[in-house]
Chains A and B, each alone.
Chain A
């Protein structure tokens, strides 16, 4: 997950940097490729750190302040590394009506992390999102990339325990 110490992303052999370089090139290194580039960076590294932001800023010839502004404006981008496993709880209307709050509360009680936090051992990050479009199956959560619907508190905790191997 760490971006490792990078000599120079542009010449790095790390494929993750190469992916980012390729995305920017595909858009002719034009400033409007900023959001697409940040998406690629986040997908490759799991989050967007200073090195990545600087690299994008230089390549697209956009002020670093603007890159930072865009990266912090959009909720989807995260500047912090995530835990080994993630649980994204939907807090959209349907899930809220069907008890998403209880799921979050139970997780907080059991693992001691509230939304947006990662457990101290770096195993689990609890996040929230507004609607995955599975409202028919509310309440829903995405655990390590897979959508789980019609969740109860017990079931959620059981699944999480399995994932983090407790």
Chain B
């Protein structure tokens, strides 16, 4: 494909879509499919044909529309009037009413107002094409300006300028640690040697997070384009996407996207007629959380057990098969095309001083609106949970919000007005993490939550280093005993000591952060621990003191 052909493809697709006076978008992301959106889409196609309206109404399967809890979601757009309405909880039975409404009034009982904070308080960059394009059609992505950034980078800019823009954007890694992306790219670019690789980390290990899955399912080309630009900037000609095997739909759409991009010459040899070559392969994960850690991930691509190794050397210097390797998270890479299209300065104007741009969160747990959201950095947690999230169901009370998964912590009510950025979250004992955000209400038992995460870390520990392998098991044991009301103050002291030890002596991030859920719940909900101790001045909540009190 030449730059001119890219333009004509975009125009042609715009025309092809624009000739329909009506358009119906049905969410075909995994969440809505499991609620039955595929059946809704088939029913729509049939019904339109029956009504003789298939020439004036386009049915399109699109990516995630965000509000998964109200799925299946359907959006009906009127191109002539230039407006659209959104419907929730649509079933195949509702389809005739929807089709009948095309020229008339919307169907009232299915309406999902578009002016609620869930939609209006968001700021979409990574998710900009979600709900608009068919992830299986490359022309749809191109229509929205897709691959323009790659074209610009290759034909107008050159690697140094790309590096400059990414650095200027202030983008930080979205995989959890928040390392400056520009700096990482520059290190790989500077590394000597011939062969280099780009790896996209799509392992998304945090149990309770689905940002990366949604990006791959809803807009896969964006990630491919980001990877190709990265390859161009650092001097790599090959890339791998490491995806969890638990995401079959994402894998299928990625494979299809790669095939389409290759066929269009947007991946492969001499892209846009330049000397730049880039190919992308998929590697499947196999259900090991530790493989999200970069050195373990590299071992896994090499066909080995996914065990981390000490750093340095960092992958930027010696990564896949000993070659300099750039490894970035899905969302990080998905931010690249808009940064190249609109400039680093534009991106840096969004967010806070140290955390630029937006962040995608997977909002779940005890909150009314669960789903996928993208908000500017610096937004208050309260606004996310109570405005966008619509608060806690059934009038129950908010207790804590968990960010960062097994490496993060629980943030209580008193910190809800804090801005969401890397530093603030760290200052209250949690982390930004990759974007999992789980809301808990008063029914959640915080010791049980800590035990849950510790069990996770214990089973997921790869076993290579002793502090993590033995420490997580010991801590889990202590937590179980506290839960059963069979522990004393000394056990609690031991638990705290172990937290400190495991945190400071583990080999990789898994062990180093495993104590975080315990530490943060101890910090804010200590009473839930001590009240269960045999000698903790317990208020008789735990089984043994209660029984003892009765005997007396």
| Residue contact B301 to A97, C-beta cutoff 8 Å | no
| Residue contact B283 to A35, C-beta cutoff 8 Å | yes
Partner among A31, A130, A135 whose Cβ is within 8 Å of the Cβ of B303: A31
Partner among A32, A74, A133 whose Cβ is within 8 Å of the Cβ of B247: A133
Partner among A62, A74, A138 whose Cβ is within 8 Å of the Cβ of B287: A74
Could you tell me the distance between the alpha carbons of A153 and B195 in the complex, rounded to whole angstroms? 54
| Residue contact A93 to B35, C-beta cutoff 8 Å | no
Could you tell me the distance between the alpha carbons of A32 and B210 in the complex, rounded to whole angstroms? 28
Is B444 at the interface (CB under 8 A from chain A)? yes
Q: Shortest beta-carbon distance, B392 to chain A, in Å?
A: 12
Please tell me which stretch of A7-15, A104-112, A141-149, A154-162 contacts chain B, meaning at least 4 of its Cβ atoms lie within 8 angstroms of it: A141-149
Report A-chain residues with C-beta under 8 Å of the C-beta of B371.
136
Residues facing B in A95-146 (CB within 8 A) are: 95-98, 129-138, 140, 146
Could you tell me the distance between the alpha carbons of A131 and B289 in the complex, rounded to whole angstroms? 11
Is A39 at the interface (CB under 8 A from chain B)? yes
| Residue contact B33 to A34, C-beta cutoff 8 Å | no
**Contact residue range for chain B?**
35 or more
Given known contacts A32-B301, A75-B287, A133-B209, what 7 new A-B pairs fall within 8 Å (CB)?
Answer: A33-B303, A34-B303, A39-B286, A93-B438, A131-B209, A133-B213, A137-B68
| Residue contact B452 to A93, C-beta cutoff 8 Å | yes
Residue in A32, A33, A35, A75 whose Cβ sees the most chain B Cβ within 10 Å? A35
Residue in B247, B301, B304 whose Cβ sees the most chain A Cβ within 10 Å? B304
Report B-chain residues with C-beta under 8 Å of the C-beta of A75.
286-288
**Which residues of chain A have a CB within 8 Å of any CB of chain B?**
31-36, 38-39, 62, 69-70, 73-77, 91-98, 129-138, 140, 146-149
Which residue of A is nearest B402, CB measured?
A93
Could you tell me the distance between the alpha carbons of A148 and B71 in the complex, rounded to whole angstroms? 13
| Residue contact A135 to B209, C-beta cutoff 8 Å | yes
Report A-chain residues with C-beta under 8 Å of the C-beta of B247.
132-133
Could you tell me the distance between the alpha carbons of A134 and B250 in the complex, rounded to whole angstroms? 12
**Can you offer 19 A-B residue contacts whose CB atoms are under 8 A?**
A33-B303, A34-B303, A39-B284, A70-B303, A73-B306, A74-B288, A75-B287, A76-B245, A76-B285, A76-B286, A92-B208, A93-B436, A130-B289, A131-B246, A133-B214, A136-B31, A136-B371, A137-B69, A138-B365
Partner among A32, A34, A96, A129 whose Cβ is within 8 Å of the Cβ of B452: A96
| Residue contact B366 to A97, C-beta cutoff 8 Å | yes
Residue in A33, A76, A140, A148 whose Cβ sees the most chain B Cβ within 10 Å? A76
Partner among A34, A69, A94, A147 whose Cβ is within 8 Å of the Cβ of B34: A147
Residue in B30, B34, B288, B453 whose Cβ sees the most chain A Cβ within 10 Å? B34
Report A-chain residues with C-beta under 8 Å of the C-beta of B300.
35
The interface bits of chain B over 57-69 (1 if a CB of A lies within 8 angstroms of the residue's CB, else 0) are 0000000000011
Given A39-B245, A74-B287, A97-B366, the answer on whether A137 and B34 have CB atoms closer than 8 Å is yes
Report A-chain residues with C-beta under 8 Å of the C-beta of B305.
69-70, 73
Q: What 3 pairs across the A-B complex have the smallest Cβ distances?
A: A136-B68, A93-B208, A92-B207
| Residue contact B364 to A135, C-beta cutoff 8 Å | yes
Which residue of A is nearest B448, CB measured?
A96
Could you tell me the distance between the alpha carbons of A69 and B462 in the complex, rounded to whole angstroms? 12
Residues facing A in B433-461 (CB within 8 A) are: 436, 438, 440, 444, 452-453, 456
Q: Shortest beta-carbon distance, B336 to chain A, in Å?
A: 23
Is B102 at the interface (CB under 8 A from chain A)? no
| Residue contact A135 to B302, C-beta cutoff 8 Å | no
Could you tell me the distance between the alpha carbons of A6 and B210 in the complex, rounded to whole angstroms? 42
Partner among B285, B304, B370 whose Cβ is within 8 Å of the Cβ of A70: B304
Report B-chain residues with C-beta under 8 Å of the C-beta of A31.
303
Q: Shortest beta-carbon distance, A93 to chain B, in Å?
A: 3
Is B405 at the interface (CB under 8 A from chain A)? yes
| Residue contact B286 to A74, C-beta cutoff 8 Å | yes
Is B372 at the interface (CB under 8 A from chain A)? yes
Is B125 at the interface (CB under 8 A from chain A)? no
| Residue contact B284 to A134, C-beta cutoff 8 Å | no
| Residue contact B210 to A133, C-beta cutoff 8 Å | yes
| Residue contact B35 to A149, C-beta cutoff 8 Å | yes
Report A-chain residues with C-beta under 8 Å of the C-beta of B266.
none
Report B-chain residues with C-beta under 8 Å of the C-beta of A73.
288, 305-306, 462
Q: Shortest beta-carbon distance, B360 to chain A, in Å?
A: 13
| Residue contact B35 to A35, C-beta cutoff 8 Å | no
Report B-chain residues with C-beta under 8 Å of the C-beta of A134.
30-31, 34, 68, 210
